[in-house]
Amino acid sequence: MIVRCLDLFCCAGGAGEGYHRAGFDVTGVDIRPQPHNPHRFIQADALAFLREHGHEFDFIHASPPCQAHCDLKHMWNAKKHIDLIGPVRDLLCQIGRPWIIENVPGAPLNTSIILCGTMFNLGTGDAELWRHRHFEFGGGLPPILTPPCQHRRKPRVIGVYGGHGRDRRRKANTQDFSVDARREAMGIDWMTGTELSQAIPPAYTEFLGRHVLDHISTSEK
């Protein structure tokens, strides 16, 4: 059985790859060209595409831009960014398919779960990946139990953001990790350094995707 996943605001396809590994047929949508996205890709406005085609999919994942909620909003030269979480949620609720919205800590998500790289033993060398992301469920998806974070099992912490890879335990703003090391830490081998900074590790959405598939399978019986 083909189960279709719509990956909105897909960027270079980190989330989509996890759903693909879980067993979904993935279509990614982004307003910008994404030449490195390994899945079926449509360049379009995500909200407009969702409004017109969302009902054609069995499950919808959305990662609206996070700049309005991430730490960068506190910088002296921060720009005002539009918050699309509310409009996306409203449309998803209207369509009625199972859905997940992903965003950074501090985003205005309703009751959500948190996933971290240490839950999936992600990292590189002596560094573990701390990359906390929040996921809000809707469209009838039931709650899910998550494994605990496993912080401080390794001496260093890799942060993958802003096109850089830095040890988050150091106060010095230095680039400590190569692009290859960042790729290994994220479980992604096809992205540039800048694309990695926007990506979700596929391990996160593979974990979520298996839960979604179980729900869809059970609902159809």
Query: What CATH number has the domain bearing residue 29?
Result: 3.40.50.150
- Name the E strands within 10-126: 25-30, 40-43, 59-62, 99-103, 112-115, 123-124
Per-residue model confidence (pLDDT) at position 111: 83
* 3-state SS, residue 167: strand
How many domains is the chain partitioned into structurally? 1
DSSP-assigned states of every residue in 105-147? TTS--SSEEEE-GGGGT-EETTEEE---EEEEEETTPPP---P
Pairwise CA distance, residues 22 & 207, whole Å: 8
* C-beta separation of 120 from 203 below 8 A: yes
pLDDT digits (tens, 9 = 90+) for 112-161: 899 999 999 999 999 999 999 999 999 999 989 998 999 999 999 997 76
Per-residue model confidence (pLDDT) at position 129: 94
Which domain covers residue 189, as residue numbers? 4-219
* C-beta separation of 68 from 103 below 8 A: no
Task: Name the stretches of the chain with pLDDT < 70.
Answer: 66-81, 161-175, 221
Per-residue model confidence (pLDDT) at position 76: 37
Per-residue model confidence (pLDDT) at position 108: 94
* 3-state SS, residue 103: strand
> CA distances (Å), 52 to each of 14, 27, 139, 155, in order?
24, 14, 18, 49
* C-beta separation of 195 from 38 below 8 A: no
* 3-state SS, residue 162: coil
What b/e string do you get for 16-38 counting C-beta neighbours within 10 Å, with b at 16 or more? bbbbbbbebebbbbbeeebeebe
30 residue type, one letter = D
Place of tokens 């179980």: 214
Per-residue model confidence (pLDDT) at position 1: 83
148 CB burial (10 A radius; 0-12, 13-18, 19+): exposed
